[in-house]
Amino acid sequence: MDVLIFMVSGTLAAATALIFAAMGELVAEKSGMLNLGIEGMMATGAAMGFVAASVSGSYTLGFVAAAGLGMCLSLIFAVLTLVFRANQTASGLAIGILGLGLSSAIGKKFESMTLPGLPDLPLGVLADLPVIGPMIFQLDAMVYLSILLVVATWYVLNRTKLGLTIRAVGESPETAHALGLKVRWIRAGCVAFGGAMAGIGGAYMSTAYTPLWAEGMIAGRGWIVVALTVFGTWMVPRVALGAYLFGSISLLELSIQAFGVNVPSQLMSALPYLVTIFMLALISRNTLFIRLNSPSSLGATLKLQ
């Protein structure tokens, strides 16, 4: 039973950082912007969030600072790609490198320090339910917020005019431009949102999930976020599902090991990527499906005058 509680509550927590960053990246990608600097933005967010929360004693301030700095980094990406018409892939990698360096510089004096960790927020009566309570209703506030974020992202992208605009811009920036939409501003806004969410995702790692700062602690999670958007075929519920799936696979590996069974850990680590490639091949064949869901202009340099 404890193992079940660990797996469920652990998965929810493990997926939280991924969900924040993935929702942000999804919105950016929906507008046609492939920002590969997520790893650097998450790392910077983690360092900034930890330092700000440590110094001020406020977790809220930590998340705000992390979101702000993540946004600043992503805006460099936006300016490079939208104003200077630089290639998205190279620009994303460039701010990724900058972000990793920045995280190391910001966190230097705080290396290996710890925080008490974001306190849990038991949800009233629900938290007292047997088994289900500790499993789902005794987690920290950010876990619940991440679920709200998924719902909100889905709603905005699919049910609002703003969402329609974002999708139109990602589908064909030229057409959107011809229709009088401010393509650059909309894309910059989506990228900034992505940066802020990546920052928060990083800060969740360093202030709540593993409440300490250690250089390199994001350890590839930013790359997983990029894979998640593809795995989820740019559909909000599927991306979220992917994050939970990924979280549970990584915990399952450890649980199985603790049962005394050896698992081929490298195969487990590679599995999410193999499955994603398989999914991508499967859906890409279906041109109609791809046209409906994937942003057509993803990664392409804006050619507007």
- Per CB under 8 A, which of residues 124..163 are in contact with another protein? none
Residues from 224 through 253 that contact another protein (CB under 8 A): 226-227, 230, 250-251
Residues from 152 through 211 that contact another protein (CB under 8 A): 172, 205, 209-211
Q: Are 52 and 65 in contact (CB under 8 A)?
A: yes
Residues from 24 through 83 that contact another protein (CB under 8 A): 34, 36, 76, 79-80
Both tokens assigned to 284? 């890409």
Taking alpha carbons only, the member of 75, 15, 11, 13 closest to residue 41 is: 75
Number of residues binding to another protein, judged by CB under 8 A = 87
In the list 61, 68, 75, 89, the residue contacting another protein (rule: CB under 8 A) is: 89
In the list 56, 101, 131, 155, the residue contacting another protein (rule: CB under 8 A) is: 101
d(CA 126, CA 213): 33
DSSP symbol at 140: B
d(CA 230, CA 165): 21
In the list 75, 86, 121, 147, the residue contacting another protein (rule: CB under 8 A) is: 86
Both tokens assigned to 14? 């493990």
DSSP symbol at 114: B
* Residue 228: alpha-carbon gap to chain centroid: 9
In the list 129, 141, 168, 254, the residue contacting another protein (rule: CB under 8 A) is: 254
Count of all residues that appear for the chain in the document:
305
In the list 18, 215, 232, 245, the residue contacting another protein (rule: CB under 8 A) is: 215
104 or 165: CB nearest another protein: 104
91 binds another protein (CB under 8 A): yes
In the list 52, 136, 298, 302, the residue contacting another protein (rule: CB under 8 A) is: 298
